């Protein structure tokens, strides 16, 4: 911490390349009603952070700079705002900031009560920060959108990244058969997480293992029309990408097809964080960390995230 009222935070000075990221001294946020102040020990990077930095979502993030960055966090409750009943100062928590404003890549963050839960026991702060956004996306895609159940066949495209590595583990927990799509170098890793079949997206036939009850297009390059022939009778295609063709498929299949297209838009849900914590405690789910960077190396962390070949998560260790 820099002074009693200021903290170090990764900020964005304008929309642009990683060079727009800088560590600045900014005021510590004070927790309003129903919020807590978290002393952040670790954060994690997501494609969402790099997209926001580049200005892809400027309609939501606005033009007031500097912008804060980062959504995943783990840390300790430093203060509680009015109306917060079930958390005490000093409790170790993990969670995800909702919306578009970010602020987890900082020494402190203000977090609403619905957006965090007790940190999974046995995990370090770095490990816990690697979980929220990606595990909640995978859970909400497979369970809420896909209606996953035991014995279903699930294909996960982009299986070795942040979301995919959670989706493989959660599909396994749910008793599904899993076909994982990644580069060949990640196939042993994915079999270790529970994949039954692995396909190399450069050479393999994506249809292996079909018909699929759920096709989870994590990477976002398999449109509904290309996957429809390999979906089961009432199969569901779930996409992560917010694009016009996805919205069109979602709307059209709602009325005109037994096979459905769905879009997952992750929400920070306390019950889901609790479920993830239970799975971790039972030894069924583990965070996957590609690399850990200190806050000062936030630019390097974004560069790695943008390679699109990260295995699991990039964590920011804050202290």
Ligand X SMILES: NC(=O)c1ccc[n+]([C@@H]2O[C@H](COP(=O)([O-])OP(=O)(O)OC[C@H]3O[C@@H](n4cnc5c(N)ncnc54)[C@H](OP(=O)(O)O)[C@@H]3O)[C@@H](O)[C@H]2O)c1
User: What radius of gyration do the chain's Cα atoms show?
Assistant: 20
The beta-carbon contacts of 196-201 under 8 Å, at least 24 apart in sequence, are 198/159, 201/157
Residues 259-288 that bind ligand X (CB under 6 A): 264-266
Cα angle: 267, vertex 274, 172; to 5 degrees = 85
Which position among 37, 134, 152, 285 is part of the footprint of ligand X (CB under 6 A)?
Answer: 134
Q: 228-234 long-range contacts, Cβ below 8 Å, gap at least 24?
A: 228/257, 228/259, 230/155, 230/206, 231/259, 232/153, 232/259, 233/258, 233/259, 234/258, 234/259, 234/260
CA angle 87-6-302, nearest 5°? 85
Residue 311 found at the interface with ligand X (CB under 6 A): yes
Pick the closest to residue 82 from 153, 145, 144, 34 (CA basis).
34
Nearest Cα neighbor of 108 from 31, 190, 178 is 31
Q: Is 135 in the site for ligand X (CB under 6 A)?
A: no
224 binds ligand X (CB under 6 A): no
- Window of 30-38, 82-90, 160-168, 292-300 that interacts with ligand X by CB under 6 A: 160-168
Among 35, 48, 210, 262, interactor with ligand X by CB under 6 A? 48
Burial tier of 151 (Cβ tally within 10 Å: 0-12, 13-18, 19+)? exposed
Answer yes or no whether residue 199 interacts with ligand X by CB under 6 A.
Answer: no
Q: How far is the CB of 262 from ligand X (least distance, A)?
A: 11
Which stretch in 76-84, 178-186, 254-262, 277-285 sits in contact with ligand X by CB under 6 A? 178-186
299 binds ligand X (CB under 6 A): no
- 179 is a site residue for ligand X (CB under 6 A): no
The token pair that represents 81 in the structure block: 């705002």
Nearest distance in Å: CB 143, ligand X: 14
Q: Considering only the stretches 91-99, 133-141, 168-176, 291-299, report the one whose residues sit in contact with ligand X under the rule CB under 6 A.
A: 133-141
CB-nearer residue toward ligand X: 7 or 276: 276
Select from 120, 132, 161, 223 the one that contacts ligand X (CB under 6 A).
Answer: 161
Positions touching ligand X (CB under 6 A) are: 46-48, 133-134, 137, 157-158, 160-164, 181-183, 186, 201, 218-221, 240-241, 264-266, 308-311
């Amino acid at each position: 911490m820099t002074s009693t009222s200021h903290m170090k935070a990764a900020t964005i000075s304008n929309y642009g390349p990683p060079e727009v990221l800088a560590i600045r001294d900014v005021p510590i946020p004070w927790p309003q009603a129903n919020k807590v102040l978290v002393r952040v020990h670790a954060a994690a990077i997501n494609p969402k952070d790099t997209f926001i930095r580049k200005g892809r979502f400027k309609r939501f993030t606005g033009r007031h700079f500097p912008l804060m960055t980062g959504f995943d966090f783990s840390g300790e409750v430093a203060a509680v705002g009015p109306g917060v009943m079930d958390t005490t100062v000093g409790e170790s928590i993990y969670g995800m900031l909702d919306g578009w404003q970010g602020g987890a890549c900082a020494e402190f963050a203000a977090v609403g009560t619905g957006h965090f839960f007790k940190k999974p026991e046995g995990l370090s702060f770095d490990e816990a920060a690697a979980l929220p956004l990606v595990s909640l996306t995978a859970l909400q895609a497979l369970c809420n959108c896909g209606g996953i159940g035991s014995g279903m066949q699930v294909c996960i495209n982009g299986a070795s990244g942040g979301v995919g590595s959670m989706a493989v583990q959660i599909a396994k927990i749910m008793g599904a058969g899993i076909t994982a799509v990644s580069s060949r170098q990640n196939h042993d890793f994915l079999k270790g997480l529970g994949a039954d079949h692995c396909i190399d997206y450069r050479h393999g036939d994506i249809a292996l293992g079909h018909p699929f009850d759920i096709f989870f297009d994590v990477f976002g390059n398999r449109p509904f029309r290309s996957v429809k022939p390999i979906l089961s009778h009432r199969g569901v295609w779930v996409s992560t990408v917010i694009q016009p063709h996805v919205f069109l498929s979602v709307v059209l299949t709602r009325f005109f097809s037994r096979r459905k297209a769905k879009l997952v838009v992750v929400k920070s849900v306390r019950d889901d964080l609790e479920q993830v914590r239970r799975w971790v405690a039972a030894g069924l789910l583990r965070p996957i960390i590609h690399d850990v960077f200190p806050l000062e190396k936030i630019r390097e962390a974004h560069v790695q995230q943008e390679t699109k070949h990260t295995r699991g998560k990039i964590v920011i260790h804050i202290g």
